[in-house]
């Protein structure tokens, strides 16, 4: 009888403990207070959990260590020990595929990083690396938790180390949804992609007050490190959006184009765009006159599946385009000169932009398609003194080091060192095609004629007529569309309308490409 009477009492105790657990979980879910939530909303920002819900598939989030609390004492910390310690960590799915995430909760200690906070991030990063799945950080934090001293700084060191270990192994995406100052800004800089939201997110090493105190320059937070500054001027930010909802939706879209890790290929989708679709519009998009500009984006739209592509660094180094797209359902990386901006020349920023993109594609098994219309490197004292030699070499190094399938198409101009650097056959392109409008040469005909026939032009009765004659002669001898093909420098001269079909067939052949690099610890790329 006693046992029978005792059983309900024990069950009641279990139910009580379960009720207590649910109460704690509800407290964790709600966050620190309604007042803190209202303050977050007043800044036009979502809460950390709302952001996670937008990022991940509905109902897929699994939280890790939601009950974690700090153990620090002093400065009143022992009296304030909220659950999660200001960061929410876990995993879920995006389009059905596993993704790990951590999100700073600005309502708790301003999202500042303390020892327990950092330990949670370290754990989820280790899990992402071990599982071979992408990691997304939703950043909205005020830097290191000053009250915890150097322990907080050491936590950043652990994050940086893991960012570096994961580099080229799993995709890493940083989404800036609030302030990110000081050393905290280096973690996003180590990741593959950085997203920012205008007005609410900023990144800088030293804030406006310090800048004014040291240099006397007055600047706002957004003027120093806002989304537009980093999207257009510094190149730190790859994507900038007006609101968090559209930003997180684009993160989901980017993840749909990336593999889970470096051992897998990007996801393939069924394409309704015919592989043999002819691009008749290409005949009118690209003028035969090499001095006339056009929009390379329209060429890309005509070639890729459904005209759909994701441009990266759209507003920085606009003289070159880098984008992810699909050809017959397969993800490809596109690098293309943009004749509408600086005539499509290569400069310091274009070289850096391309090099990083090429390395990312190579790391994650994404084939490279290069569309050339390049008149050369940008001349000038600023470029030379700024190190165009070493910066241009970054792009060259990235192409030469890439082992993924590489196909280049020369649309029009391909002059000098810029032609060689942009994945020419001589640096290892698997296949090189050219349109019949191509001009592959050491330099433009006018410049070449002025060098080669300088004396004849100077000694002629009519120098301008002689120059025109020599330019025409140089073009007919060395710059006709089939000169490079006759010497095996391009694999074929193709009809522009067949470009899409040729690329898709070539990629299908190269899908099983295998290339071995020399045994080494790592290379020493130009800096």
Residues marked as catalytic? 182-183, 417-418
Q: Could you tell me where the beta strands, DSSP code E, fall in 387-437?
A: 406-415, 431-434
Distances (CA, A) of 365 to 158, 263, 329, 516: 28, 8, 15, 14
Give just the sign of the alpha carbon dihedral 139, 92, 88, 43.
Answer: positive
Dihedral pair phi/psi, residue 434, rounded to 5°? -140, 145
- Count of alpha carbons within 13 angstroms of residue 468, beta-carbon side: 3
DSSP secondary structure letter of residue 146 = G
Q: Which helix (H) or strand (E) holds 352?
A: helix 348-363
Distance CA 160, CA 164 (A): 6
Sequence-separated (6 or more) residues with CB below 8 Å from residue 189? 236
Distances (CA, A) of 376 to 102, 397, 415: 44, 17, 6
Sequence-separated (6 or more) residues with CB below 8 Å from residue 355? 394, 395, 397, 398
Q: SS3 string of 482-520?
A: CHHHHCCCCCEECCHHHHHHHHHHHHHHHCCCCCCCCCC
Dihedral pair phi/psi, residue 53, rounded to 5°? -65, -35
149, with CB counted inside 10 A (0-12, 13-18, 19+), is middle
Residue written as tokens 């067939």?
A: 505
Q: Token digits for 490?
A: 């391009």
Other Cβ atoms within 10 Å of 397 Cβ, number:
20
Where do the H-state alpha helices sit in 167-192?
186-190
């Amino acid at each position: 009888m006693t046992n029978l009477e005792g059983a309900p009492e024990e069950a009641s105790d279990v139910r009580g403990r379960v009720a207590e657990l649910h109460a704690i979980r509800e407290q964790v879910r709600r966050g620190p207070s309604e007042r803190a939530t209202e303050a977050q909303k007043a800044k036009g920002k979502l809460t950390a959990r709302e952001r996670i819900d937008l990022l991940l598939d509905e109902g897929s989030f699994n939280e890790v260590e939601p009950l974690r609390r700090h153990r620090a004492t002093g400065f009143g910390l022992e009296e304030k020990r909220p659950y999660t310690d200001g960061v929410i960590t876990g995993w879920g799915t995006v389009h059905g595929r596993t993704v790990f995430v951590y999100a700073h909760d600005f309502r708790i200690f301003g999202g500042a990083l303390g020892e327990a906070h950092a330990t949670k991030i370290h754990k989820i990063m280790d899990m992402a690396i071990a599982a071979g799945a992408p990691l997304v950080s939703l950043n909205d934090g005020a830097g290191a938790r000053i009250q915890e001293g150097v322990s907080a700084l050491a936590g950043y060191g652990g994050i940086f180390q893991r960012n570096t270990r994961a580099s080229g192994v799993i995709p890493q995406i940083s989404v800036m949804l609030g302030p990110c100052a000081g050393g905290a800004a280096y973690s996003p800089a180590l990741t593959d992609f950085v997203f920012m939201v205008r007005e609410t997110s900023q990144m800088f090493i030293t804030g406006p007050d310090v800048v004014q105190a040291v240099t006397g320059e007055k600047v706002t937070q957004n003027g120093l490190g806002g989304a537009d500054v980093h999207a257009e001027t510094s190149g730190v930010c790859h994507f900038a959006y007006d609101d968090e909802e559209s930003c997180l939706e684009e993160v989901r879209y980017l993840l749909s184009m990336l593999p889970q890790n470096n051992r897998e290929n990007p996801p393939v989708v069924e394409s309704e765009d015919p592989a043999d679709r002819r691009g008749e519009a290409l005949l009118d998009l690209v003028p035969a006159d090499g001095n006339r500009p056009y929009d390379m984006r329209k060429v890309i739209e005509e070639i890729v599946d459904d005209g759909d592509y994701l441009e990266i660094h759209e507003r920085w180094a606009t003289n070159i385009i880098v984008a992810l797209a699909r050809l017959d359902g397969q993800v490809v990386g596109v690098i293309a000169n943009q004749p509408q901006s600086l005539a499509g020349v290569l400069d310091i920023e274009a070289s850096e932009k391309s090099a990083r993109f090429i390395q990312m594609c190579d790391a994650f098994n994404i084939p490279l398609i290069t569309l050339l219309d390049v008149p050369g490197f940008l001349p000038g004292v600023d470029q030379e003194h700024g190190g165009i030699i070493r910066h241009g070499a970054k792009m060259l190094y990235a192409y030469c080091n890439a082992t993924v399938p590489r196909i280049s198409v020369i649309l029009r101009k391909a002059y000098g060192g810029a032609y060689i650097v942009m994945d020419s056959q001589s640096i290892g392109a698997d296949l090189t095609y050219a349109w019949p409008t191509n001009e592959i040469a050491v330099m433009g005909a006018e410049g070449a004629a002025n060098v080669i026939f300088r004396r004849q032009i100077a000694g002629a009765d009519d120098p301008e007529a002689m120059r025109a004659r020599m330019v025409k002669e140089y073009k007919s001898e060395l710059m006709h569309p089939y000169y490079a093909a006759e010497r095996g420098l391009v694999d074929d001269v193709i009809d522009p309308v067949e470009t899409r079909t040729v690329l898709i067939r070539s990629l299908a052949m190269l899908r099983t490409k295998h290339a071995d690099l020399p045994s080494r610890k790592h290379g020493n790329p130009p800096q």
